[in-house]
Structure 1
Amino acid sequence: MWRALLNRTVSLLAALVVASVVIFGMLQAVPGDPAAFMLGLNAQPDTVAALRAELGLEGSLVARYLAWTGGMLTGDFGTSYTYRVPVAGLIADRIGVSAPLAAYALLLTLVIAVPAGLLAASRRGGVADWGVMGATQLGLAVPNFWFAMLLVLVFAVSLGWASAGGFPGWSDPVAAIGALTLPAIALALPQASILARVLRSALLDTLDADYIRTARAKGLSRRATVLRHALRNAAISVLTILGLQFSFLLAGAIIIENVFFLPGLGRLIFQGITQRDLIVVQSVTMLLVFAVIAVTFAVELAYTLADPRLRRR
């Protein structure tokens, strides 16, 4: 077990190094000069050169890469070209929106998907099964940004039950959760559809196992068999999807945050791209990549808890 843990840790570190090189290289290859973009078309060359030196854009690519990665290891993500404040401060402000939004959406995903998957698997071939599969197919087909705009039209514009956008801050937790509800629903719908279908398939495979038939032959009810035995053994497949989904919800909410004008990491990346604030884009992107890899690593560790056979490896 310890050897497997060491191998996974080494793989995580290697993935982070490769990701940092790719992110840095791709953004450096973007045409144009951030300093010239900030100063405008009529800027003097000496002024542009002075700003480039101030922003740390001088020097070789290797030196700049090492300075960037070394700063991140100490918590220094650099200084925003646009806002002239530390990027770490911008991230700290925005992650207080993105992380709760992702957790809220993941909770809604579980609340919707687990009962739906259980219902479909326990009523295989029946009306409930067909209904759940049809609903999940619709959830996969509808783009989340279109569903987000539909939610705004219905619940914010027509009914007035929720805010159409913006975030009031956590000084009023009720208002903050209310502002995150529609975005969380828009994010959770396609993820719940995926998870429900995966859970149904995993449960159907498990329900055909010999030990399930033995439990039924001993007089255990179908509901108890599914909840006590089948669901636990199907959890490994679900864990894989959950890890990927949380990573997607945290890193892939750029469109949803812009639809609802939420000051999260996704909107920060979008603003950094439009303003050519490359240090913000590369630092936030690297942070999100780290979150994705770390969650994947945590899911792999969870496998060992869910499946005792993996502990002997």
Structure 2
Amino acid sequence: MLRYALRRLLSLAVSLVVASLVIFLVIEVIPGDPASYMLGINAQPDTVAALRSELGLDVSKTARYLAWVGGMLHGDFGTSYTYRTEVAEMIGERMWISLPLALYALTLSTLIAFPAGILAASRRGSATDLGVMGVTQLGVAVPNFWFAMLMVLLFAVKLRWVSAGGFPGWENGFWPALRALTLPAIALALPQASILTRVMRSSLLDTLSEDFIRTARAKGLNRRQALWRHALRNALIPVLTIIGLQFSFLMAGAIIIEQVFFLPGIGRLIFQSISSRDLIVVESVVMLLVFAVIVVNFAVDLAYAWVDPRLRR
């Protein structure tokens, strides 16, 4: 198990180095100079040159890349061109919204998908199975931002149960903050729950047709006992893969949802930074999200080895 984990750690480190190079090169080729954008089209060339020097944009791209990576290794993500604030501080403030939102949505997605997928697989071909698959097909087809706007119209505008958007802050109490994240989390969770339900059902059905399940049934276990004692654990590997991918998507892909609900999270920070050509913020936030994706995949790989001991070899 230790050797397997060390191999995965080495792969993680190589992935991070490659990702940092790709992110830096892709963002650096975006048209537009941040200094010229900040000063406007009527700015004098010497003023632009002075601001470029102040922002550290007048050195070579290699030096900027090494300074950026070296700073991140020490926890220094640089200073925002636009807000003149430490990027790490900006990320820390926004992360306390985006991370709980992603975890909340992932929890809801898992709590919905596991029972629904197991129920559909245990009653294959029945009206229950067809109903679950029909609902999940609708969940996959409906865009989450459209569903989010419908929920705003129903629960915020018509019923007035919750506010239409915004975030009160955790300092104002846990329940008010959690309440503000509930509608966005549901909007994010339902499409992901539909995908996870279908994967859970398909994986369980494939596992239930294996020889070891037939052997368990021949030894006297009924279908329900064989499902819970033997099939479920063996069906978890593709499900764990989807859960890992979903967490990554929920962290990085909530830009539109955060815009709909006016949540000052990481997604909205990326949107605002791209609009203002604040390249150092975009690079650092994207790199942090890539790091989160790679770490989650590493955790999923370890979960594979725990679920299936054969992978440890």
The TM-score bracket by the shorter chain reads over 0.9
**What's the counterpart of residue 184 of structure 1?**
185
1:142 Cα deviation after fit: 0.6
1:19 Cα deviation after fit: 1.0
Instruction: For 1:38 and 1:216, locate their aligned partners in 2 and report how far apart those are by CA, in whole Å.
Output: 70
1:33 to 2:33 alignment: yes
Cα RMSD, aligned residues only? 1.2
Instruction: For 1:6 and 1:111, locate their aligned partners in 2 and report how far apart those are by CA, in whole Å.
Output: 32
Instruction: For 2:154 and 2:219, locate their aligned partners in 1 and report how far apart those are by CA, in whole Å.
Output: 51
Instruction: For 1:282 and 1:292, locate their aligned partners in 2 and report how far apart those are by CA, in whole Å.
Output: 15
**What's the counterpart of residue 243 of structure 2?**
242
**What's the counterpart of residue 262 of structure 1?**
263
1:1-313 equivalences in 2 (<5 Å): 1-171=1-171, 172-311=173-312, 313=313
Instruction: For 2:208 and 2:22, locate their aligned partners in 1 and report how far apart those are by CA, in whole Å.
Output: 44
Contact 2:32 2:277 survives alignment (8 Å): no
Higher mean alpha-carbon deviation, 180-189 vs 2-11, is at 2-11
- Give 1:284's aligned amino acid: V
- Runs of 4 or more above 6 Å deviation: none
Instruction: For 1:32 and 1:248, locate their aligned partners in 2 and report how far apart those are by CA, in whole Å.
Output: 28
Q: How high is the TM-score relative to the length of structure 2?
A: 0.97
**What stretches of structure 2 of length at least 5 have no aligned partner?**
none
Instruction: For 2:290 and 2:310, locate their aligned partners in 1 and report how far apart those are by CA, in whole Å.
Output: 30
Q: How high is the TM-score relative to the length of structure 1?
A: 0.97
Higher mean alpha-carbon deviation, 226-235 vs 74-83, is at 226-235
Instruction: For 2:308 and 2:215, locate their aligned partners in 1 and report how far apart those are by CA, in whole Å.
Output: 21
1:213 Cα deviation after fit: 2.8
Instruction: For 1:32 and 1:215, locate their aligned partners in 2 and report how far apart those are by CA, in whole Å.
Output: 65
Instruction: For 2:165 and 2:99, locate their aligned partners in 1 and report how far apart those are by CA, in whole Å.
Output: 17
Instruction: For 2:263 and 2:235, locate their aligned partners in 1 and report how far apart those are by CA, in whole Å.
Output: 36
The count of corresponding residues between Structure 1 and Structure 2 is 312
Instruction: For 1:105 and 1:170, locate their aligned partners in 2 and report how far apart those are by CA, in whole Å.
Output: 18
Instruction: For 1:156 and 1:310, locate their aligned partners in 2 and report how far apart those are by CA, in whole Å.
Output: 49
1:179-221 deviation digits (Å, cap 9, x = unpaired)? 1111111111111111101110111111122332333344434
1:291 Cα deviation after fit: 0.5
- Give 1:193's aligned amino acid: S
**What stretches of structure 1 of length at least 5 have no aligned partner?**
none
Instruction: For 1:255 and 1:83, locate their aligned partners in 2 and report how far apart those are by CA, in whole Å.
Output: 23
SS of 2:288's equivalent?
helix
Instruction: For 1:34 and 1:259, locate their aligned partners in 2 and report how far apart those are by CA, in whole Å.
Output: 27
Higher mean alpha-carbon deviation, 68-77 vs 156-165, is at 156-165
Higher mean alpha-carbon deviation, 212-221 vs 249-258, is at 212-221
Instruction: For 2:2 and 2:23, locate their aligned partners in 1 and report how far apart those are by CA, in whole Å.
Output: 31
1:238-265 deviation digits (Å, cap 9, x = unpaired)? 1111111111111111111111111110
Instruction: For 1:189 and 1:241, locate their aligned partners in 2 and report how far apart those are by CA, in whole Å.
Output: 14
